[in-house]
């Protein structure tokens, strides 16, 4: 589903104060320039133009079971790491598809940030309970605030100074959009680190670069996939080799039926882990989605949740279940958890926040990119 969207201009890079990881031998990979900005805009426009689906459209999706599986993964992560009254920062929150999950975890406060104004508007109406039939519900039990910003370019600390510190930062299926340049990858981590309390948790899901590179090397050409997705690399990667001195800006085109169709960037996980450490974020674990599912499905409460969500079918015996191709597409993703260093008091909450029960259009804050 598409809707009209007005193009807006974008932004420039944040200053980088830390020593760089990528080497510069006159090559322009991973360096912020106009094309980086226009690609960020392209990603934003892609997501902005996708309107909410009706229940019928959603159920007819060729990846409905994969969507449900991804919702299960995010629900499990949220249930594992969230405590009652937690203050949550949802980076790249999209249309607010996780609001119900946060509500079930009984959080105390929520801030959602996304670059796509159309998605922020959908998130706002969903929060207000004015939205589609799938997510129509009464009130959310937590106050919330929404911000439209490029959270891989704009420092968020000032805008969120009255909301911070956060107990949890979540970035679901979106961190790889920061990996176009080192500056953007660093700004993403700087935002997470500066806003989390010591001892706070960073949870996320993103493409598994190891799986993507393995599949690329197994493929005959530079494109591979199945009936629900394809990934295509440019001619410059004909040798299928990636220099460790240039870990940013490794772009590919990703198409997932009824969901994604835009440029993405590989995130070599060992580099991500090292970079995160510079920002005081220690890896707790990283698991491929398959490993995560196989591990947590063994726990009765999560098996029951899987049954309720219907990711593996509704048990009616109609043969509709997660297809082989959807399961293979799920393998493209990983799950990670990081902990901000230091000891924090999870019970000492910031009580200064506003308590909105409805978010009006004029309550949404728009943060411009730096000129
Ligand atoms: C696959 S969607 C995931 C949305 C949501 N996290 C979820 O799991 O349902 C990716 C999201 O990342 C957002 N995004 C991409 N680049 C971004 C950026 N630079 N700053 C903020 N959000 C961004 C997109 O607008 C989109 O909403």
Q: How far apart are CA 204 and CA 339, in angstroms?
A: 12
71 marked as binding residue: yes
User: Between 36 and 93, whose confidence is greater?
Assistant: 93
C-alpha of residue 285 to centroid of ligand 1, in Å: 22
What pLDDT is recorded for position 357? 76
Q: What is the pLDDT of residues 189-206, one digit of tens each?
A: 999 999 999 999 999 999
Does residue 23 surpass a pLDDT of 80? no
pLDDT tens profile 102-120: 999 999 999 999 999 999 9
Alpha helices in the chain (DSSP H): 34-48, 55-59, 64-81, 99-104, 117-127, 182-195, 209-218, 269-278, 289-296, 300-309, 324-330
From the alpha carbon of 178, which atom of ligand 1 is closest? 19
CA of 317 from ligand 1 middle (Å) equals: 35
Query: What pairs with residue 171 in β-bridges?
Result: 91, 204
Read off the pLDDT of residues 201-221 as tens digits, 9 standing for 90 and up.
999 999 999 999 999 999 999
- How many angstroms is it from 227 CA to the middle of ligand 1? 24
Mutating to test ligand 1, I would choose from 50, 89, 114, 251 the residue with most ligand atoms within 8 A of its C-beta, which is: 114
Whether residue 105 has its Cβ less than 6 Å from ligand 1 = no
Tokens of 301: 């409460």
Residue 251, SS3? Answer: strand
Whole-angstrom distance, CA of residue 299 vs CA of residue 294: 10
User: Is the pLDDT confidence value at 183 over 70?
Assistant: yes
Distance of alpha carbon 146 from the chain centroid: 16
pLDDT the model gives residue 258: 82
Q: Is the CB of 119 under 6 A from ligand 1?
A: yes
Rounded Cα distance between 113 and 90, Å, is 6
Quote the ligand 1 centre to 176 CA distance (angstroms).
10
Q: Measuring from atom 26 of ligand 1, which residue has the nearest CA?
A: 94
The whole-number average pLDDT for the span 300-308 is 95
Q: What is the pLDDT of residue 194?
A: 98
Q: Is 174 in the pocket of ligand 1 (CB under 6 A)?
A: yes
Domains and CATH numbers, the chain: 57-366 (3.40.50.150)
For the stretch 172-199, what's the b/e string if a residue is b when 16 or more beta carbons lie within 10 angstroms of its beta carbon? bbbbbbbbbbbbbbbbbbbbbbbbbbee
The CB of 156 under 6 Å from ligand 1? The reply is no
Q: Please give the pLDDT value at position 25.
A: 45
Give the residue with greater pLDDT, 193 vs 43: 193
What's the 40 CA to ligand 1 centre distance in angstroms?
Answer: 11
What φ, ψ does residue 41 adopt, rounded to 5°? -65, -40
Q: Does residue 191 line the site of ligand 1, with CB under 6 A? A: no
Residue 232 gets the label, from left (phi > 0), alpha (psi -120 to 50) or beta, of beta
| pLDDT tens digits for range 117-173 | 999 999 999 999 876 555 556 679 999 999 999 999 999 999 999 999 999 999 999
């Amino acid at each position: 589903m598409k809707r009209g969207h007005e193009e807006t201009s974008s932004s420039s890079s944040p200053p980088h104060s830390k020593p760089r990881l990528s080497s510069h031998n006159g090559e322009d990979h991973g360096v912020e320039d106009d094309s980086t900005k226009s690609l960020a805009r392209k990603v934003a426009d892609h997501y902005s133009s996708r309107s909410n689906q009706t229940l019928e459209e959603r159920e007819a999706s060729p990846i409905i079971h994969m969507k449900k599986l991804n919702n299960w993964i995010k629900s499990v992560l949220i249930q594992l790491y969230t405590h009652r009254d937690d203050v949550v920062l949802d980076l790249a929150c999209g249309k607010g598809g996780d609001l119900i999950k946060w509500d079930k975890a009984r959080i105390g406060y929520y801030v959602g940030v996304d670059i796509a104004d159309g998605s922020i508007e959908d998130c706002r109406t969903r929060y207000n309970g004015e939205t589609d039939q799938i997510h129509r519900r009464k009130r959310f039990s937590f106050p919330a605030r929404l911000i439209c910003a490029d959270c891989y370019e704009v420092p968020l600390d000032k805008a969120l100074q009255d909301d911070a510190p956060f107990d949890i930062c979540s970035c679901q299926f979106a961190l790889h959009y920061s990996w176009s340049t080192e500056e953007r990858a660093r700004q993403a981590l700087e935002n997470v680190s500066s806003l989390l309390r010591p001892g706070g948790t960073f949870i996320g899901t993103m493409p598994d670069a190891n799986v993507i590179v393995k599949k690329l090397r197994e493929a005959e050409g530079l494109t591979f996939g199945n009936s629900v997705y394809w990934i295509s690399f440019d001619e410059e990667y004909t040798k299928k080799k990636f220099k460790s001195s240039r870990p940013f800006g490794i772009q590919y085109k990703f198409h997932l039926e009824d969901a994604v169709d835009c440029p993405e960037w590989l995130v070599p996980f060992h580099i991500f882990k090292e970079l995160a450490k510079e920002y005081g974020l220690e890896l707790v674990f990283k698991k491929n989605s398959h490993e995560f599912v196989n591990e947590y499905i063994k726990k009765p409460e999560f098996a029951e949740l899987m049954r309720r969500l219907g990711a593996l079918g509704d048990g009616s015996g109609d043969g509709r279940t997660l297809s082989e191709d959807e399961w293979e597409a799920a393998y493209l993703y990983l799950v990670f958890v990081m902990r901000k260093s230091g000891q924090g008091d999870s019970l000492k909450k910031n009580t200064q926040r506003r308590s909105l029960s409805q978010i009006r259009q004029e309550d949404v804050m728009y943060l411009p990119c730096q000129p």
